Amino acid sequence: MALNRLVLSNFRNIVSVDLQLAPAVNLFCGANGSGKTSLLEAVHMLASGRSFRSRQSQTVIRHEADVLAVFARLAGGTTLGVEKRRDGQGRIRINQSPAESSSQLASCLPLQVINSESFAALDGGPGVRRQLLDWTVFHVEHGFALQWKVYQTALKQRNALLRRGKIDSKSLDPWEQQLVKSGEAVDMLRREVFSRLNVQFQRRLLDLPESVFGALQLHYRGGWKKELSLGEALQASREGDLAQGFTRVGPHRADLRFVIHGQPAHAVLSRGQQKMAVCALRTAMASVVEGAQKAVFLVDDLPSELDEGNQALFAHWVSACASQVLVTGIEHSVTARPWLQLPEPWNAPKMFHVEHGVVTAAEN
């Protein structure tokens, strides 16, 4: 769902700004440190309740202020608002009414961030890739969030018992039963969405050099041996879990694996090739979610991450699956180039100039 209007106050070096955004492409250009990325951070806060650069909201509040506020009106008329105070308190509002959790924000505004940290999916830990899959499942399968929450509660209780050391099986049984019920539901939903995600991912690889990407495969691993049920895996792992003090099998250990000829993809692909694989994955994620609600992409300084040809291909992928994109860069002409090659309305970006926290609409 695209943003029509974005309002910020006291967000990093931005004192106050009220922007009318274009429905497709919005470019924010200026020197390093001018406040471009802060605009993307603010939109991310509207979709998650926090910045993508810091989990501590106090560091995002402008140094002379006690409170920051971010507000947006979406294309469908929904309004989102987030307020963060220096004392750690804050408010989240949807259509002027208090929201119960940040997941409600995420439901209203599916968001994909492409920045230097986004490209760690191939060589990062399993948790990074698991979050990518779960973002997709969350927006497609509305029962997923509840099942995952129930699973995490049961997991926390089982781990607490394991840390005690010597315990009888009767103490573990109730929590293991809950782990099995919710864990198998989580795994089933993940597998269903993964099959759709993999189809979209492979379609995008067809746009890349076959000699490099033709053998790239994406695999899902559920977090326990596939020949066992989750209940059997928990039973088999119990003794070792007691020794280690935590649960070593289950959906919380799931992973996505990128493989080329049996080798981890990050050991085969160059850094630039890895970036394109991640771009293919993230646009594939958005394509799967598209049936429910199109995502907004936040793209930070694309020219510094991809060469000109890959920028154009990425822009093409985004235009096919996103509702809107907000892009930062240093030079207007360079930042706009990959989008100008697209069909309407993607080839008519709205341009903004950012300087010392002041944002002004620029002449196209």
Predicted local confidence at residue 181, as pLDDT: 97
My answer on whether 250 and 346 are in the same domain is: no
pLDDT tens track for 307-321: 999 999 999 999 999
Place of tokens 């995952």: 148
Copy the structure tokens of residue 119. Answer: 């490209």
Above 90 in pLDDT, residue 36? Answer: yes
Residue that is last in its domain, among 262, 292, 322? 292
Predicted local confidence at residue 101, as pLDDT: 83
Predicted local confidence at residue 167, as pLDDT: 81
CA-based nearest residue to 256, from 78, 87, 134: 134
Copy the structure tokens of residue 88. Answer: 């750690």
DSSP 99: -
Q: pLDDT band for position 46 (50/70/90)?
A: very high
Buried-state track 216-231, b at ≥16 Cβ within 10 A, e below 16 = bebebebbbeeeeebb
Q: pLDDT band for position 292 (50/70/90)?
A: low
Q: How far apart are CA 42 and CA 32, in angstroms?
A: 17
Q: How far apart are CA 311 and CA 334, in angstroms?
A: 10
Helix (H, G, I), strand (E, B) or coil at 347: coil
Average pLDDT value for residue range 102-120: 90
My answer on whether 160 and 249 are in the same domain is: yes
Average pLDDT value for residue range 315-330: 96
Domain assignment present for residue 115? The answer is: no
CATH (domain of 273): 1.20.1050.90
Domain assignment present for residue 177? The answer is: yes
Average pLDDT value for residue range 230-259: 96
My answer on whether 200 and 302 are in the same domain is: no
My answer on whether 101 and 31 are in the same domain is: yes
- Structural domain count of the chain: 2
My answer on whether 168 and 91 are in the same domain is: no
Residue that is last in its domain, among 271, 292, 313? 292
Instruction: Name the strand (E) or helix (H) holding 32.
Output: none
My answer on whether 189 and 336 are in the same domain is: no
Above 80 in pLDDT, residue 201? Answer: yes
My answer on whether 305 and 255 are in the same domain is: no
Buried-state track 288-317, b at ≥16 Cβ within 10 A, e below 16 = bbbeebbbbbbbbbbbebbeeebbbbbbbb
Domain assignment present for residue 90? The answer is: yes
What is the average pLDDT value for the chain, to the nearest integer?
94
My answer on whether 47 and 97 are in the same domain is: yes
Residue that is last in its domain, among 230, 265, 292? 292
My answer on whether 126 and 240 are in the same domain is: yes
Predicted local confidence at residue 282, as pLDDT: 96
Domain assignment present for residue 359? The answer is: yes
CB 245 within 8 A of CB 158: no
My answer on whether 74 and 202 are in the same domain is: no
pLDDT tens track for 94-104: 999 998 888 89
Domain assignment present for residue 5? The answer is: yes
CA-based nearest residue to 3, from 109, 83, 139, 106: 109
Above 80 in pLDDT, residue 166? Answer: no
My answer on whether 70 and 29 are in the same domain is: yes
Domain assignment present for residue 23? The answer is: yes
Above 80 in pLDDT, residue 364? Answer: no
Q: How far apart are CA 132 and CA 82, in angstroms?
A: 24
| Domain span at 195 | 120-292
My answer on whether 98 and 141 are in the same domain is: no
Higher pLDDT, 293 or 183: 183
